[in-house]
Amino acid sequence: MALSIEGRLQLVERRMQALTDILMRLDRIQQEIQQLRGDVELQGHNLELLKKRQRDLYSDIDRRMMQLTTKQPPVVAPAAEIAAEPRTPLSLPAGAASPASQVTSQEAPVKERSAPSSTAAVPAAGEAPVAVASTADPALEQPLYKQAFDLLMQRRYEEAKEAFRAFLRQYPNGSLAANAQYWVGEASYVTRDFATALDEFTKVVQNYPDSTKVPDSLLKIAFIQYEQKAWAEARKTLERVTEQYASSTAARLALKRLERMRIEGN
């Protein structure tokens, strides 16, 4: 029996969440490798300076020659810049994170449909997101949601956040509103804007308490608290997930993180 649109959406959501978590892990590994490379290059530069000083002791000519060939110290890119660099597709993004060893249900675009002419087109790279629709037409809800999710899949995170927020202004009580709110949080989370992500995931829990996105949102809240070294709060939130949503994927991941915290002494 063919899956419904909602069933297919949930299936692809789970797969997309797994891909996002892999992306985040690879991002963190790339940051660590970049830092290690920077350390090696810095040590190499220091060694060259020592050699130069030694040669300077022998003759002024050697010193002048070294001045012509002295290399400037390599610059290690800040972590924020590394995180902002375009990520390669899934050979692509923590265990922050995310940032991480988290896998929660994630979503993919709904079945492609041709949107009515009043629907805003997906903005090109670098352009500000276009306003969604002139009226909250129920027929436009899924196409507009798909537009926002397409931006997320392209890793145009800031544009995706604005598109999902515009969607929520049009359909605050729509069937996809909780999902849209979750993805605003996720787009902030993968760029390590934890303050914004914490606020957005909290809105899912408070505004859509019956949504299937609540356990995933609580899990991400716990991961953010872990990143912020708020160990007691993180443990409390993780335990809430395991107790209230025991059969969910989020609960299994919460148990893994609790075990990790136990081993780490946190």
pTM of the predicted model as reported, rounded to 2 decimal places: 0.52
Alpha-carbon gap, residue 109 to 13, rounded angstroms: 9
| Residue 36 CA: distances (Å) to CA of 31, 41, 56, 77, 84 | 9, 9, 30, 11, 19
Alpha-carbon gap, residue 244 to 266, rounded angstroms: 23
Tens of pLDDT along the chain (266 residues)?
566 777 777 777 877 887 887 877 777 787 778 667 666 766 766 666 666 565 555 455 545 544 554 444 443 343 333 333 333 333 333 334 443 333 344 443 333 333 333 333 333 434 444 344 445 677 789 999 999 999 999 999 999 999 999 999 999 999 999 999 999 999 999 999 999 999 999 999 999 999 999 999 999 999 999 999 999 999 999 999 999 999 999 999 999 999 999 999 98
Q: Which two tokens stand for residue 194?
A: 């934890």
Look up the CATH superfamily of 1-24+99-115+124-266.
Answer: Tetratricopeptide repeat domain (1.25.40.10)
Peptide bond before 98: cis, by omega within 30 degrees of 0? yes
